[in-house]
Every structure is written in C-alpha cells, then in structure tokens.
C-alpha cells in the first residue's frame, strides 16, 4: 500500500465502487488512487467514466446496493472507511462539501433560501439567530448575489439558474469547508454565468486555501481552471497531468478528447473522432 502524502488533505488508494447487476457485478470505479492538497484538481471523463461516482464515494454518498471499497480513504488523517454515520455527518457538510450539477434538483423547493442556509449552519451547534443571518448575508455577498436580503426570503423557483447555482455554492461554503467537491457545478449554466461562478470558486481556493475537486466533462474548461487533471476512462484514471500541459497529454484517450472538440476558425472539415481501444480499459 502506498503511503499517503504528507501534505495531502485527502488520500485515496485503490478506490472501487461496485454495483451488482443481473449480469453480475459491475465496477463503476476500478481501483483508483490519488491525493488532493490545497489545490484545484480536475476529474475529467465522459459519461460513465466513473467521475461522479468517485466524488460520491469519497463522501459516503453511494447508495446501497452500490458498494465502496478502498485500501485507504483518509481526510485530514481521519479514516473515512466505515465511519459511523454520525461521525461522517460531522465531516460531510462541515469540513468537506459537495456542489451538484443542477440547482433545480439539489435545492429544497418548499424552503426559502434563508432557511436552507441556516439549516447548513445549524447542523453543528446552535449559533444565535442574528449570527446565522449575518453569516448567510455575508456568504451570499461573497458569491456575488446583488440583493442578498431579497434572495434570503426567496424560494428556489424564484431564482434563475445562475442565481440558484450561486445559492448552492453559498450553502455549501457557509460552513467554511476545507475541501469542496464540485460535480459539474457550471454545466447547466450559460457560458458567461459559468465563468462568473468559476471566478468565485477560484477566489475561495486562493483566499481560504480550500482544496477543490472539480468534476467535469469539459476538458477545455478544466485545463484552463484547474492545477492538475485526472483523466478517467471506464472507471480508471488513465492519465494524470498538469493542467497547463494538457496539450502534451500522452494517452490517446486524452488526446482524442481534446482533438474532437470543434474550434472557432477550425474550418468545416470533418472532426477527428475517437477510436476507442480495448487496451484502454486495462490501462
């Protein structure tokens, strides 16, 4: 077993997620290992590559009948494998948070934004009401919501997609987590709003020294936003590379993913397509 990194916030060794199907066990994640420090790590892959399952497995959010196994899964030195649900909850939301793709499904539709943020703060201890209010407003300000007083009283359906996603991020960050797992946090947003949300996340990583796992299908976005990229294919990490050197990627899958994207000024000729090879599965 590899020793965990000294300065790593999160250490993962031989993580696998297995589902039993009628055709026998299916491994969505097949023995992957990586560390995350106080940095931006991108996990990239196509649908079915296991990138979302990896994020969920870290937080113990894979539902039965899915099974998670790992030889090491530590956050800040705490072994997260088989942690009792009570103690897991002390970490989840408080020290490690997760932002999901679509605010329409991850916000409670019948609760005001204010109550949802307060709920996140109340999970541990009972801060006084004016402190909750102050921290909620500060957080909404921080994610650049212009009218936080009004948004606090609003229901999710009264917000636009971009606002909803910023509220989601505010809710996840109000507890000041040390690690944020963001699963396609901007994919449902318009490009211009997308960049705004990324700027907020980027700022939080730099100012608070937060670790960030950024899960995305968008290789171009990840290469410009993250420090390091893990490329996943069929449940395995096929390549790990510094984001700014992504164009030097060696694995044919990574190269294929980069090349098949149309570019402005790339002409009307046929796009190179990805020729999947059996060997990649065992990479």
Partner 1 sequence: MTDAPVPRIEVRDLTVVFGEDERRVVAVDAVSFRVEPGASFGLVGESGSGKSTVLRAICGLSPVAGGQILIDGKPLDLRRDRAFTRQVQMVFQDPYGSLHPRHTIDRILSEPLAIHGFRDRETRITGALADVGLDPAFRFRLPHQLSGGQRQRVAIARALILEPTILLLDEPTSALDASIQAEILNLLSRLRREKNLTYLFVSHDLAVIDHMCDRLLVMKGGRAVEELTEGALSHRRVESDYTRALMKASEGFVRPAGAA
CB-nearer residue toward partner 1: 210 or 219 = 219
Contact between 192 and partner 1 per CB under 8 A: yes
Contact between 266 and partner 1 per CB under 8 A: yes
Contact between 72 and partner 1 per CB under 8 A: no
Residue 72's DSSP bridge partners are: 13
Contact between 281 and partner 1 per CB under 8 A: no
Cα 194 to Cα 262: distance, rounded to the nearest angstrom: 19
CB atoms within 10 A of CB 266: 9
CB-nearer residue toward partner 1: 77 or 267 = 267
Q: Which of 16, 54, 223, 254 forms a contact with partner 1 (CB under 8 A)?
A: 223
Beta strands 24-36; 10-21: pairing state: antiparallel
Contact between 191 and partner 1 per CB under 8 A: yes
Contact between 102 and partner 1 per CB under 8 A: no
Stretch that binds partner 1, among 29-37, 77-85, 106-114, 255-263 (CB under 8 A): 255-263
Contact between 199 and partner 1 per CB under 8 A: yes
Cα 232 to Cα 272: distance, rounded to the nearest angstrom: 20
CB atoms within 10 A of CB 28: 21
Nearest distance, CB of residue 1 and partner 1, angstroms: 33
Burial 198-237 (b: 16+ CB within 10 A, else e): bebbeebbeeeebbbbbbbbbbebbbebbebbbbbbbbbb
Contact between 219 and partner 1 per CB under 8 A: yes
Asked if 14 and 192 count as a contact pair (C-beta separation under 8 A), the reply is no
**Which residues of the chain form contacts with partner 1 (CB under 8 A)?**
46-47, 161, 190-192, 194-195, 198-199, 202, 206, 217, 219-221, 223-225, 256-257, 260-268, 270-274
């Amino acid at each position: 077993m590899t020793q965990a990194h000294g300065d790593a916030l999160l250490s993962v060794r031989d993580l696998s997620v297995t589902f039993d199907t009628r055709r026998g066990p299916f491994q969505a994640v097949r023995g992957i290992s990586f560390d995350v420090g106080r940095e931006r790590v991108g996990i990239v892959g196509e649908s079915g590559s296991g990138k979302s399952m990896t994020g969920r497995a870290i937080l113990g959010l894979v539902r039965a009948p899915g099974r998670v196994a790992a030889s090491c899964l530590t956050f800040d030195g705490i072994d997260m494998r088989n942690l009792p649900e009570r103690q897991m909850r002390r970490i989840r939301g408080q020290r490690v948070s997760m932002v999901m793709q679509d605010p329409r499904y991850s916000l409670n539709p019948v609760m005001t934004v204010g109550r949802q943020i307060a709920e996140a703060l109340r999970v541990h201890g009972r801060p006084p009401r004016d402190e909750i209010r102050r921290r909620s407003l500060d957080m909404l300000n921080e994610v650049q919501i212009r009218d936080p007083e009004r948004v606090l009283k609003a229901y999710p359906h009264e917000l636009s997609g971009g606002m909803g996603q910023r509220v989601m991020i505010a809710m996840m960050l109000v507890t000041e987590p040390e690690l944020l797992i963001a699963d396609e946090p901007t994919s449902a947003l318009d490009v211009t709003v997308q960049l705004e949300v990324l700027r907020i996340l980027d700022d939080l990583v730099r100012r608070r020294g937060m670790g960030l796992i950024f899960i995305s299908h968008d290789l171009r976005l990840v290469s410009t936003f993250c420090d390091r990229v893990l490329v996943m294919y069929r449940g395995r990490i096929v390549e790990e590379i510094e984001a700014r050197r992504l164009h030097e990627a060696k694995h044919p899958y990574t190269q294929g993913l980069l090349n098949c994207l149309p570019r402005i000024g790339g002409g009307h000729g046929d796009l190179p397509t990805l020729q999947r090879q059996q060997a990649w599965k065992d990479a």
